[in-house]
Structure 1
Amino acid sequence: IDNDCDGIVDEGVTEACSAGMCMGTRTCVEGGMGEWGACTAPTTGDPELCDGIDNDCNGIVDDGVMPMACTVNGCSGTQRCLEGGTGEWGFCIPDNPQTEVCDGIDNDCDGQTDEDGVCTQTCDPDVPDVYTLTMPSRIVYRCCNFLGSTIVNIDVDQFQFQLDGARIQPLGNAWSPGQPLSGMATTCPSGTFSNTLTLSGGCTERYRLEGSFVDATTWTGTFYLEFTGSQCTDPVLCGGSDCIGTSFPVTATR
């Protein structure tokens, strides 16, 4: 329609338009067809954000937004912008959840620590719990036996301790001090312990083990070898001196 009655139909008519957040104008096509021309708004705007707005002016809201790093229950994770143009982020999803173990850490990132009975351990009272020792170095010491007549070589590397819960029962005699501590498992071990085995004779030999359980399968402590009395004066066998007491750290693992 020639609204302004100048003999020309639809000339010079413009209006604002947009592509997403990008603004422009469009002009009515001359010729009386009543049609609008293309919008001059740019089709490439700012990087897309998760805000419910078409920031990049491509006609789609919240598309192609880069995932965002996040933390859930102490675990690193990733959040993604929800589809549908709501401008909302989804839940934080853990990147690498692990199987829960008894270590005081939320390994599976579910907000609970040491759940589902992972720290529960049963101990069979009919089966000895044998622990393998780890020491800084191989230790061998020499002493006369309690009669003062024979040199005894004791290889500490070969010791094995068997545990009765948190209690350690000594077992041994003057002729076999190399394995002085033994017992049967009746409860799961915990806490601290101290046990002493004394072998009487011309020289009193005392084997003492003190330590504490790190967890149900590991304990650490100190093994003491203590000697009192006149053991031997034979210069060939003992060099004229008694055995010298010593101690060393021990770590044991079930």
Structure 2
Amino acid sequence: MSKILKIDGLRKTYTSGSKELTVLQNVSFSVEKGQTFSIIGPSGSGKTTLLGLCAGLDTPNEGTVELCGYNLFELNEDERAQLRNKEVGFIFQNFQLLPTLTALENVSVPLELQGVKNAATNAKTLLDKVGLSGRLHHYPSQLSGGEQQRVALARAFSNTPSILFADEPTGNLDAETGENVIQLLFELNKEAGTTLVIISHDLDLAQRTQQILRLKGGQIVTNEVVTAV
């Protein structure tokens, strides 16, 4: 199997006044193409910072990130953005839907901006897969949290990404709704053959992936393969 994400020697610090805060230190790991992979740890362990570096949304003080065969920090910002648009999908805890667009538009407009033909048809198909065919013309404010996250799922898979980053995908949902969203996420991911990287503090969720990376205090504690998924 080929590696779709390779992280080597990442260090990230922030300066606050006269103090320097180290958020990540000597982080190295890789993710195989098509793998399900989770990064877990308590609040403040550096998970979200690591996600931003993996996706090229932020730059490290030291270290390299190779994503889909590209060294991210040898690319300029526009080139990194183009790579994300083409290869990367995102799911966030707070859904990040555009409030002035309907469910259908939230999924189809990004496709239209990329010049995809039949964007609306593709969006309808995805929304049907996540059980929202009757809510196409509802705005986010008219949808429940679970429905909003299902729209976000459809949008994340709309550009057939090579890799999908899910940051606390059930963080704002109750247990039952969260379970339904996770089942959909794994079903869509398996069907699309996407590489899935989940960032979470939820060990039960992490144990449903093939590999678990544990962070604490900005450093890797363990990196273990899950034997049964």
- Shared fold per TM-score greater than 0.5: no
Greater per-residue helix proportion: 2
Q: What's the TM-score once normalised by structure 2's chain length? A: 0.20
Greater gyration radius = 1
